[in-house]
Amino acid sequence: MTAKLNLSVDEVLTTTRAVRRRLDVARPVPRAVIEECLDLALQAPNGSNRNDWHWIVVDDRATVRAIAAEYRAALGLLQSGAMPSPRYLTGAKGEDRMVAAAQEFHEKLDDIPAFLLPLMAGKVEGRDAFEQAAMWGSIVQAAWSFMLALRERGLGSLWATVSTRRAPEIFDLLGVPQGAYTLIGTFPIAYTIGTDFKRAPRAPVSEVLTYNRY
Ligand SMILES: Cc1cc2nc3c(=O)[nH]c(=O)nc-3n(C[C@H](O)[C@H](O)[C@H](O)COP(=O)(O)O)c2cc1C
């Protein structure tokens, strides 16, 4: 069993952050730690308990660099305007700080100890909201649980979806059958530099909650 920080559940839930600057790329991550976190993550619920997800960990140096190259290519598409920017990327509070941190992360991409690529079975294109909700709802909790389990063990990650713009190329690279899966992101895995993380600034409950009607 891996060393743990022994945080409370509430501490883990409130301090699991998007880690970019504080990823320690010099410290190797044993596969046993990743497998322990994934074992916990797989306890998350999934529709009809189908377990039809697939998870790829990339830790071979040449393949990490190839994934990094695809990540940069996806960013290039975004920055050149060849692909539209998602709504959440523009005009957000603290955007400048986030962009600076993202830049630092991009500079470290080649040295990330490992990436986790969660694969959701099937494609959402052409499916109605019910089917899509069941599909996303059958992978997102597990991926988040993986990040929570990392946090408890002194590691960090980042929910990074930009790379999905290059999913076909990434699938070719890793031998994933085209059309069978949806890539939900490339999650870096690394020990964090220091283990003290804070609550995030979020709109308070009083601003976002209503009872009984909108
Ligand atoms: C759906 C989703 C997609 C994201 N995609 C990226 C991404 O491609 N690159 C990146 O640097 N951060 C990405 N993030 C991280 C967010 O920018 C980060 O969660 C946000 O700034 C809030 O920070 P916090 O998670 O530490 O509270 C993504 C987060 C989510 C939930």
What the chain holds in terms of domains, given with CATH numbers, is 24-48+55-81+98-193 (3.40.109.10)
Atom of ligand 1 nearest to the CA of 98: 21
Q: Which atom of ligand 1 is nearest to the CA of 105?
A: 11
Identify the band that residue 85 occupies on the pLDDT scale cut at 50, 70 and 90: low
pLDDT at 84 over 80: no
- Rounded mean pLDDT of the chain? 94
Q: Is the CB of 109 under 6 A from ligand 1?
A: no
pLDDT at 2: 87
Cβ-proximal residues to 105 (8 Å cutoff; 6+ apart), any chain: 20, 21, 23, 158, 188
Q: What is the value of pTM for the model shown?
A: 0.94
Q: Give the number of the atom of ligand 1 that is nearest the alpha carbon of residue 163.
A: 8
Which protein residue's CA is at the shortest distance from atom 11 of ligand 1?
A: 102
Answer whether residue 158 shows pLDDT above 90.
yes
Residue type, 40: L
Residues 6+ apart with CB under 8 A from 169: 70, 73
Percent of the chain with pLDDT over 70: 93
Q: Is the CB of 160 under 6 A from ligand 1?
A: yes
Contact yes or no for 71/186 (Cβ under 8 A): yes
Single-letter residue type at 148: L
Burial class (CB in 10 A: 0-12, 13-18, 19+), 36: middle
Residue 146 scores a pLDDT above 70: yes
Instruction: Indicate whether 73 pLDDT > 90.
Output: yes
pLDDT of 1 reads 73
On whether the CB atoms of residues 184 and 161 are closer than 8 A, the answer is: yes
- pLDDT digit string, tens, across residues 10-61: 999 999 999 999 999 999 999 999 999 999 999 999 999 999 999 999 999 9
Say yes or no: CB of residue 92 within 6 Å of ligand 1.
no
